[in-house]
A and B are shown apart, each in its own frame.
Chain A
Amino acid sequence: MFIESAIRPALVTGKKSYHDVTVDIAGGVEGTASKIWFAAITVTLLALLWGLYCMTLTVWDGIGTFGLNRTVGWGWCITNFVWWIGIGHAGTLISAVLLLFRQRWRTGVNRSAEAMTIFAVMCAGLFPIIHMGRPWMAFFIFPYPNTRGPVWPNFNSPLFWDVTAISTYFTISLLFWYMGMIPDLATIRDRAVTKIRRAVYGTLAMGWKGTARHWHRHEIVSLHLAGIATPLVLSVHSVVSFDFATTVIPGWHTTIFPPYFVAGAIFSGFAMVLTLMLIARKTMNLKNYITVDHVESMNKIIILTGTIVGVAYISELFTAWYSGSFYEQFAFTNRAMGSYWWAYWIMMTCNVLSPQLFWFKKLRRNIGFTFFMSIVINVGMWFERFVIIPLSLSKDYLISSWAPYQASFVEIGIFIGTLGLFFTCFLLFCKFLPVVAIAEVKHILKTSGDEARDKSEKMNGIPEGAERPVVNN
């Protein structure tokens, strides 16, 4: 039997039995949606419609509807692409990396974090396709025998690497998410009272019986999928960073990019997980499953990754100065003191300074403050990509070709549209699928639930009702 220290906080509170867990989570799927849900999905659908309108404009009239020019060829679209991909990373980190590290607190948040990954990658994938201008020719990027020679994609190009990385990432994340959900879908199937629900969840649950053999194979496959998803998640943002690092643009052409991008991705992803979780926790009454300790654990990862990002920013400045290259030095002076100085300083404040506040335990465990910070970090990380992309491009080697960049309403509209898509998908997920991994929570209930903690306190001679000693946990 697995025994944990009595001083560790309980991961599931409210003295839940197995059946309570089922009722709490499957009940959310079975009940009718609340008014708040309908109001929220109306707003997100409107945002999505606006985005679709702007996408149509882009395709109909061409990329000329963007604020791009001959100097600045990548603007908001690529910024958003990198931002969304980054957000996706936290889901895989929680589901795969924390599984390998046997972090039990992941069970409360992994399902929705994985869902977030999938929706974020969907949003990210839209941008390069829209940016092509002729999205109906998007299949040209895949190597397939054709009558034009055949003309093949360039396997040396990071843009092609990106295609392979993101399509693999999406596929593996989707399979991992679905596979983890099968047992929970079976639970909903077996509780279903209406015929339609029984048929739908029965189909989705794929005849899951929960036999010892099923579970054994399921566990082994999960573990191995986690094992391959871990290097995959590191590779995805590394490859995204290669899009920039292999060019000759000052400020992009640096070897620090892959680790810096990966850390930034996890940083922003955790912020988005927190934004979503704190809302879900409140509106869906999941306080017993996503406890303050879960929030604190995530905030600790935010401090770590935020600090890595901060160190990366400073290393970049140092390397620019130390390189002795005039263009490199200019790129960074331009970022901090050029015409877009405000973007740089928003980035610095939100990403480097603000996460350091989480060193205070009180702030780390404060839900309201965490929610505020999660938004701040998301904004900061969007500005990081903005600073890297259009700022580096707008002032290149030749002064004669310098050009300012101002996003058009179409670009902003497409971004709003993807926010709409993301939140619409997430709301649908919250309504129709189990938001917390039921089987995984049950699995840890006897060892990490509050009743188990009370028992272990008794065993350790801690009097009943005594406040749990606070150790630097």
Chain B
Amino acid sequence: MTENKFVYGEYDDEHILLDAIRKIRKDGTDISEVYSPFAVHGMEDALGLRMTRIPIAAFLLGMTGGICMFAFMAWIFGINWPINIGGKPFIPLPAFVPPLFEFTVLTTGVSLFVLLFHTCKLLPSVDVHPISTDLTDDKFVIEMKITKEMTIQKIETILKGVGANILKTKKDKKTKEEETKELEA
């Protein structure tokens, strides 16, 4: 079970969470993961995340798409089936601009999307949360890995020191009664 490998510290507020992350990392302690219900600005700096290279890859793929589209049109109009339209060039560059642009945008956009799925390893699955289903609702969680040097007690002291609520057991989805009560409220 994951509970044995990690210790989880829970927060209610993103600003307290960010401060806590900064404090923990200041001592050179590693944080293995942080979960939040929405994008917290400043998180990547606090955690020292590297800038993703998805945009660079998507740019290159988009350029490749554009070049392929141009080559395809030029091959068709220039080599495979040249048509003389009022003595105009066989490869009319201005007329190629709209399809070229659209296809470049299409390949770039699809690449961005596919790369996001690939790098985040997004696949259909139902039970994904390590500790609590509140992580997509209103709770923020710091996850720290247990190692030989970093024992459970040590991590818990660190997390408690920065105001976290230590999660011991897995909090699963609310019971049906709670749910209906909430809806009624």
Which residues of A come within 8 Å of B, CB atoms?
1-2, 17-19, 22-23, 27, 30-31, 143, 149-152, 155-156, 158, 160-161, 164-165, 167-168, 171-172, 175-176, 179, 182-183, 186-187, 189-193, 198-199, 202-221, 224-225, 228-229, 231-232, 235, 239, 242, 439-440, 442-443, 446
Query: Smallest distance from the beta carbon of B68 to chain A beta carbons, Å?
Result: 12
Ordered by A's residue number, 6 sampled pairs between the chains whose C-beta atoms are within 8 Å are: A151-B81, A168-B103, A216-B49, A217-B120, A221-B113, A224-B55
Partner of B126, one of A156, A165, A189, A209: A189
Tell me if B98 and A164 are in contact (CB < 8 A).
yes
Closest 7 pairs between A and B when the two form their complex, measured CB to CB: A202-B126, A18-B138, A190-B133, A206-B122, A161-B98, A207-B125, A439-B38
Which residues does B use to contact A, with CB under 8 Å?
14-15, 33-41, 43-44, 47, 49, 51-52, 54-55, 58, 62, 72-73, 76-77, 80-81, 85, 92, 95-96, 98-99, 101-103, 105-106, 108-110, 112-113, 115-117, 119-129, 133-138, 173-174, 176, 179, 182-183
- Residues of B near A232 (CB, < 8 A) are 102, 105
Q: How far is the CA of A235 from the CA of B49 in the complex (A)?
A: 36
| Contacting pair A179 B113 (CB below 8 A) | yes
B14 shortest CB reach to chain A, Å? 7
Bound complex: CA A232 to CA B92 (Å): 22
Main secondary structure of the interface of A (DSSP, over half): helix
Chain B residues in 8 Å Cβ range of A175 = 109-110, 113
Residues of the B chain whose Cβ atoms lie less than 8 Å from the Cβ of A211 = 33-35
A48 to B141, CA, bound (A): 48
Residues in A with CB closer than 8 Å to B33 are 211-213
Taken together as a complex, chains A and B put the C-alpha atoms of A136 and B35 apart, in Å, by 49
A242→B119 CA distance, assembly (Å): 39
Please name all residues of chain A whose beta carbon is closer than 8 Å to the beta carbon of B98 when the two chains form the complex.
158, 161, 164-165, 235, 239, 242
Within the complex, what minimum Cβ distance (angstroms) separates A313 from chain B? 26
Complex CA gap A242/B36 in Å reads 47
What CA separation (Å) do A27 and B137 show in the bound complex?
Answer: 12
* Contact partners of B106 in chain A: CB under 8 A: 164, 167-168, 171-172
Q: In chain B, what residue has the closest Cβ to A149?
A: B81
* Bound complex: CA A151 to CA B110 (Å): 28
Asked whether, in the complex, the Cβ of B52 is within 8 Å of the Cβ of A217, the reply is yes
- Once the chains are docked, how many angstroms separate the CA of A350 from the CA of B159? 62
Give B185's nearest chain A residue, CB to CB: A23
Q: B109, A228: Cβ atoms under 8 Å? A: yes
**Known contacts being A191-B173, A206-B117, A239-B98, is A440 close to B38, with CB within 8 Å?**
yes
Are A164 and B15 in contact, with the CB atoms below 8 A? no
B43 touches A191 (CB 8 A): no
B138 to chain A, nearest CB (A): 4
In the complex, are the beta carbons of A190 and B124 less than 8 A apart?
Answer: no
In the bound assembly, the distance between CA atoms of A427 and B96 in angstroms comes to 40
A439 contacts B99, CB within 8 Å? no
- B124 near A22 (CB under 8 angstroms)? no
A residues in contact with B105, CB < 8 Å = 168, 172, 228, 231-232, 235
Bound-state CA distance A171–B134 (Å) is: 33
A199 to B125, CA, bound (A): 8
A167 CB → nearest B CB, Å: 8
CA distance A31 to B184 in the complex (A): 11
Cα of A36 to Cα of B72 in the assembled complex, Å: 52
User: Chain B residues near A156 (CB, 8 Å)?
Assistant: 85, 92, 95
Residue of B54, B76, B127, B133 near A155 (CB, 8 A) is B76
Give Cα distance in the complex from A242 to B97, angstroms.
13
Q: Are A208 and B128 in contact (CB under 8 A)?
A: yes
Chain B residue contacts of A23, Cβ below 8 A: 182-183
Chain A nearest CB, measured from B93 CB (Å): 11
By the criterion CB–CB under 8 Å, are A191 and B174 in contact?
yes
CB nearest neighbor in B for A172: B109
**In whole angstroms, what is the CA distance A143 to B14 when docked?**
51
